[in-house]
Each structure stands twice: as structure tokens, then as C-alpha cells.
Amino acid sequence: MSDSLTIDADATRWSTGARDGLPLLVLLHGYGADEHDLFGLVPYLPEGIAVASVAAPLAPPWPAPGRSWYPIEGLNGRDPEGVTRAGRAFLAWLDAAAADASSVALLGFSQGAAVALQALRLAPERFGAVVALSGYASPGELPHDAALQELRPSIFWGRGTHDDVIPPPLVDHTAQWLPDHSDLVGRVYPGLTHSISEDELLDVRVFLEKWKDAAGE
């Protein structure tokens, strides 16, 4: 696999064309989805922000539909290097597409959540908050992890009790890693599978309202 990936900026969906000065929330979809998948969340998100939904750079193996951020070899095959490559590709997209945003937050689901957290680890100064839904923090160390322990960025981690997609060892790792490296808001939703619930979206909106208010100060 190449050491670099490229995100198709033309595929990005934007909630508004008038983005100057607005806080920016970027949506990162999961495996087999695309830039349209999470865009339906826009009505549940705070007003007064710009929202961008990005298309992942890879296609899953045929005949799987949609896009992917990194390859998955079975449920347990998630190479941290692949997550890092995707995080770097996302940062390159951000530099080109949204360098002038007043503040940037990320909302990722599943693979997108893993990439959102990895992008934060690669460039902690770039982001005001991260929402990680049904995802995980990738194992291994990165150069800025110690800085995160000092910065303690705001992270919302939501998952369901019946999510059987993310392997338990990765959930356990994330449950230990996030409190040590962030100002964490964690929620576990009874009965929720590998999906997003309305209760979770209510919690996400409250979390993002705080980010938006802080961005406007």
C-alpha cells in the first residue's frame, strides 16, 4: 500500500456555501458508507456552524459498496498504520479545504471515529473537539500523545452495549486511553447496536453546543 492517500475534495458535501468565520464540524463516515451517509445528521446539530461531510479515500473490496478509510481484514484486522495514513490524508484535505475555519471539530462514526481520533493525535492543536461514535482509539504511540495529556482536548465517546463490530480489546484499550489523554465525556447506551440513537444525538448536540460557544469567545 502507498504511504499516502488522497481525499477527493470535489466529493465533499457542505451544509452551506457561506462558511467564512463559522466554526466547522467535519463528518467522517464509517466503512462501506460515503459522504452522504452522515449528512442526514445536520438537522440534529447546532445552528450557526458549517458542516462538511468527507468521502473516505478508499473503496472496500468488490462487491462491497461505499468507501473506506483503511482496509479491514476481518473483524479483528485493523492496522494502526492504516489509520494513521488515513489521518494524514484527512489533515491534507483540511489544510486545502478549510484552513480558515475559526474552529474545527470532528464527528466520526466507526472507522471515521478512529480516523478522527488519529487526526487529533497527529495535530492536536488543529481541533476544538472530537465526537467519536461507535469507534475506538488506535493502539500504539504517536509523537504528540504526551502533549494531549497536557492539552486534554474535549472528546465525546459514545457506544452501545450491543455493538458487536468493534472488538472488545479495542473497546477496553479506548476506555483506558481516552481518560488519560482528554477531557472525556463518555456515554454507553443500553441496547444500542453499531449505530446512532436519538438519545445519543441529543447528547452530541449538547456537547457540540459547548464547543461552538467556546469557539465564539
Active site residues: 110, 163, 194
Per the CB < 8 A criterion, the answer to whether 38 and 12 are in contact is: no
Q: In what order do the strands lie in the sheet with 154-160?
A: 13-14, 50-54, 24-28, 104-109, 129-133, 154-160, 183-189
Stretch (H or E) spanning 158: strand 154-160
Stretch (H or E) spanning 88: helix 80-97
Cβ neighbour number for residue 195 with a 10 Å cutoff: 16
Which residues partner with 16 through β-bridges? none
148 DSSP 8-state letter: H
